[in-house]
Structure 1
Amino acid sequence: MSARTAPGVAVIGGGFMATVHSRAARAAGGRLVGLVGSSPERSAAAAEALGFERGYASLDELLADPTVDVVHVCTPNALHAEQALAVIRAGKHVVCEKPLATSAADARTLAAAAEAAGVVATVPFVYRFHPMVREARARVQAGELGRVLTIRGTYLQDWLLASTDDNWRVDAERGGRSRAFADIGSHLVDLIEFISGQRIERIAATTRTFFRNRAENAAITTEDAAALVLQTGSGAIGTVLVSQLAPGRKNRLHLEVSGTELSVGFDQEQPESLWLGRRVGTEILPRDTDSLKPDAARLSIVPSGHPQGYQDAFNAFVADTYAAIRGEQPSGLPRFADGVRAATITDAVLDASEAGTWIDIPSDSFVAANRYDAAIPDLTVPTPSLAAENRTA
């Protein structure tokens, strides 16, 4: 990349997330070199549709291409670990969709491998890149909330509301042990810790699978909804509700953090404002660079009154990833260690639900728990190949 002004970008997968990633890569100045799907024919079709220069016949062919600097992994969850590790071993930078892996152990392996290889490795917790999320975080960091007391978060969708609704994600073999929490709850707990500055220390949880059989999948074990109570290291308490069966809620991530002096509330479906609550008087703060903290103003790319949304947040995430590849240190960039954290909490949610008791969550980083040497480790469990998967995410 040092000899070129733009990173060479490749994508693994050809579905919805590949479309989102390719838009963001283009907006960040990347050169769309190539794409690989589940077959050479699908690779060629997806590459043409998304504006890539070529489709690869195989993942090996992609990884052997010296013009590729960074690879975006946009396939079903069970493929993430194997494919991201292959990218790392090829010495290329990697953006891997969440969940980083279907177990915390494999997520730690990936983070250690990326660290050992010296590559930039990021995971798209893109809600961090809404300007008003950065505004909320900056106000917490400035001490405006006082002592953080309570946290309340929900992430609600309705796309799996009916028993006739189906998707590969409900299948544990392709999506992993967790579905709703790994898919969307991971975003929420990442945002809780990112905004509040609090580390979740203990949780109690319950999960529900309301439909054991759907249109194409039977004997489903992955959860439709999860509810948990949490406690942070500083003693704050909170509640979290995650559901993919909430009628009328399309993608409603809402988070409220309350302290002794101020509450802040962010709603992803209304991302252009931040709710500020006080004992006397409340305020709706609009996205306006004249009144925002510097980190929020940096991400505010159009004038107030011209809405920014999900794709803008994704574009900013990819732009910061490419900046990190150039050697910069952008603030708040979610790296593989953050993916490990989300996977650790996801495992704890399921363990707490099965055990019916509180579960402690370690607050140390993956490095402290998983020391590595110069050798890149193997995964703890085998994962399927790309060719074995017909549908990409």
Structure 2
Amino acid sequence: MSTPLRAGLIGAGFIGGVHAHAIRSAGARLTRISDSTPQRADEAARRLGAEAASESAEALIAADDVDVVHICTPNATHAALADQAIAAGKAVVCEKPLATSWEDADRLVAAAERAGVVTAVPFVYRYYPTVRETRSLIADGQAGRLWLLHGSYLQDWLAGSSQTNWRVDPSQGGVSRAFGDIGVHWCDLMEFTTGHRITRLHARMSNAYSQRATADGMQAVGTEDGATVIFETDQGATGSLVASQVSLGRKNKLWFSFDGTDASYVFDQEQPDSLWIGGVVENRVVPRGPGTLSTAQGRGYSYLPAGHPQGYQDCFNAFVADVYGAVAGESPDGLPTFTDGRRSAMITEAVLVSAKNESWVEVPA
């Protein structure tokens, strides 16, 4: 692009900082930032290198010097802010969940399509080179028939009844926490990588802690600490997922094994610079690198030689670069859009219904 895109960032917490780094990496200007108060916005502008602070999210969205709006606020605010950004004709990057209900997510997809604006949801685990390598190998038929798709997403940052966060409050984070926050990442990654779509599932939700600390003292927990899901796909595979935010020692372990009749592929987000490929005669561990991965997709997202680690921020940088490429008229392969956010909302709703009714629930593919 002849002139840099101008980005506005709403929300300056941990993930807002990740967005800010990615905005600059993509060659855009971080022209404005807003936070929960004008004072916090001023501090965040200094800390994250924004050109100016906006007094409110609404003022940022309306600003003439913002082309792309990044929404990094508590979940319950996403839909309203995305609505405003779409109405203003701005491209929108909205943190997941896109909305806390499928109906709101569906409405946002329709609104964005009518407005003709670029949208994106940061399902950034798609951007690990070893994931792209796995996707390409599966598409090429090297796995044979995929029949078992299983894995987990485990964290421990909410372990202990004294640990709390706005996500614990259903009015801010939504009715589902562990699945709605991290389980959807795994499901998106599975469907993206394998090409399979979940059509039927059975879920259970549970809590390690019956109460958590709040500003008003210890309160009953309103969202789940963990969820287990078994599912079937449109191509005849079965699978399972365990998601937990209280598994001690697991900082951010997104793990999958996609098992086929000819090969199995294992990815571990805590060790993302290698891909495990299983076979009957031998197993292989392939290091991530432009000279070691075999597919164009895998090599294309490998920015550093093997042995020089690439991680989460690198994935986020690649994701935002693809978003801005789409704004410029390109068609990046695998860019997660509001349509993918709606898909995650649909699966989350099915998980909630299944857990409540203790039954299998159909999920449109």
Please show how residues 265-276 of structure 1 align to structure 2 within 5 Å.
265-276=266-277
Letter in 2 for 1:299: Y
Give the alignment partner of residue 39 of structure 1, picking from 37, 60, 84: 37
- 1:290 deviation in Å? 2.5
Instruction: Report the secondary structure of 2:316's partner residue.
Output: helix
Conserved? CA contact 1:209–1:221, under 8 Å: no
Which residue pairs with 1:341 in the alignment?
Answer: 343
- More displaced 10-residue stretch of structure 1: 116-125 or 213-222: 213-222
Letter in 2 for 1:280: V
What is the rounded CA distance, in whole Å, between the counterparts of 2:346 and 2:91 in structure 1? 23
What is the rounded CA distance, in whole Å, between the counterparts of 1:48 and 1:289 in structure 2? 37
2:128 is the alignment partner of 1:127: no
2:63 is the alignment partner of 1:58: no
Letter in 2 for 1:287: R
- 1:258 deviation in Å? 0.6
Please show how residues 17-96 of structure 1 align to structure 2 within 5 Å.
17-96=15-94
Please show how residues 308-319 of structure 1 align to structure 2 within 5 Å.
308-319=310-321
Instruction: Report the secondary structure of 2:162's partner residue.
Output: coil
Conserved? CA contact 2:170–2:176, under 8 Å: yes
Q: Which runs of 5+ in 2 are unaligned?
A: none
What is the rounded CA distance, in whole Å, between the counterparts of 1:6 and 1:266 in structure 2? 35
Q: Which runs of 5+ in 1 are unaligned?
A: 364-393
Which residue pairs with 1:227 in the alignment?
Answer: 228
What is the rounded CA distance, in whole Å, between the counterparts of 1:84 and 1:60 in structure 2? 11
Conserved? CA contact 2:325–2:331, under 8 Å: yes
- 1:227 deviation in Å? 0.3
Conserved? CA contact 1:212–1:221, under 8 Å: no
Instruction: Report the secondary structure of 1:215's partner residue.
Output: strand
Which residue pairs with 1:359 in the alignment?
Answer: 361
- 1:64 deviation in Å? 2.2
- 1:63 deviation in Å? 2.0
Please show how residues 237-248 of structure 1 align to structure 2 within 5 Å.
237-248=238-249
Conserved? CA contact 1:72–1:95, under 8 Å: yes
Which residue pairs with 1:113 in the alignment?
Answer: 111
What is the rounded CA distance, in whole Å, between the counterparts of 2:258 and 2:169 in structure 1? 34
What is the rounded CA distance, in whole Å, between the counterparts of 1:123 and 1:226 in structure 2? 22
Give the alignment partner of residue 302 of structure 2, picking from 284, 289, 300: 300
- 1:107 deviation in Å? 0.7
Instruction: Report the secondary structure of 1:75's partner residue.
Output: coil
The CA deviation string for residues 185-226 of structure 1, in whole angstroms up to 9 with x for no partner, is 010000010111100110001001232321116222211000
The CA deviation string for residues 234-269 of structure 1, in whole angstroms up to 9 with x for no partner, is 110011000011111000000110111000010000
Which residue pairs with 1:145 in the alignment?
Answer: 143
Give the alignment partner of residue 156 of structure 1, picking from 136, 154, 157: 154
TM-score by length of 1: 0.90
2:194 is the alignment partner of 1:196: yes
- More displaced 10-residue stretch of structure 1: 207-216 or 5-14: 207-216
What is the rounded CA distance, in whole Å, between the counterparts of 2:204 and 2:62 in structure 1? 45
Give the alignment partner of residue 95 of structure 2, picking from 92, 97, 112: 97
Give the alignment partner of residue 204 of structure 2, picking from 192, 203, 206: 206
Conserved? CA contact 2:147–2:236, under 8 Å: yes
What is the rounded CA distance, in whole Å, between the counterparts of 1:76 and 1:145 in structure 2? 40
- 1:47 deviation in Å? 1.0
Instruction: Report the secondary structure of 1:290's partner residue.
Output: coil
What is the rounded CA distance, in whole Å, between the counterparts of 1:249 and 1:236 in structure 2? 28
Instruction: Report the secondary structure of 1:48's partner residue.
Output: helix
Aligned length: 361
Larger relative contact order (CA 8 Å, sep ≥ 6): 1
Conserved? CA contact 1:170–1:222, under 8 Å: yes
- More displaced 10-residue stretch of structure 1: 202-211 or 214-223: 214-223
What is the rounded CA distance, in whole Å, between the counterparts of 1:51 and 1:196 in structure 2? 39
What is the rounded CA distance, in whole Å, between the counterparts of 1:306 and 1:209 in structure 2? 39
TM-score by length of 2: 0.97
Which residue pairs with 1:375 in the alignment?
Answer: none
- 1:39 deviation in Å? 1.4
What is the rounded CA distance, in whole Å, between the counterparts of 1:205 and 1:39 in structure 2? 39
Letter in 2 for 1:323: G
What is the rounded CA distance, in whole Å, between the counterparts of 1:262 and 1:137 in structure 2? 13
Which residue pairs with 1:379 in the alignment?
Answer: none
Instruction: Quote the sequence identity (%).
Output: 50
Instruction: Report the secondary structure of 2:248's partner residue.
Output: coil
What is the rounded CA distance, in whole Å, between the counterparts of 2:361 and 2:38 in structure 1? 46
What is the rounded CA distance, in whole Å, between the counterparts of 1:340 and 1:227 in structure 2? 21
Conserved? CA contact 2:290–2:303, under 8 Å: no
What is the rounded CA distance, in whole Å, between the counterparts of 2:201 and 2:316 in structure 1? 30
What is the rounded CA distance, in whole Å, between the counterparts of 2:290 and 2:58 in structure 1? 46
What is the rounded CA distance, in whole Å, between the counterparts of 2:219 and 2:327 in structure 1? 43
The CA deviation string for residues 262-308 of structure 1, in whole angstroms up to 9 with x for no partner, is 00010000000100001111100111223421011111111111110
- More displaced 10-residue stretch of structure 1: 209-218 or 276-285: 209-218
Which residue pairs with 2:260 in the alignment?
Answer: 259
- 1:130 deviation in Å? 0.4
Which residue pairs with 1:236 in the alignment?
Answer: 237
Which residue pairs with 1:380 in the alignment?
Answer: none
Letter in 1 for 2:165: N
What is the rounded CA distance, in whole Å, between the counterparts of 2:226 and 2:57 in structure 1? 35
- CA RMSD, aligned part only? 1.0
- 1:349 deviation in Å? 0.7
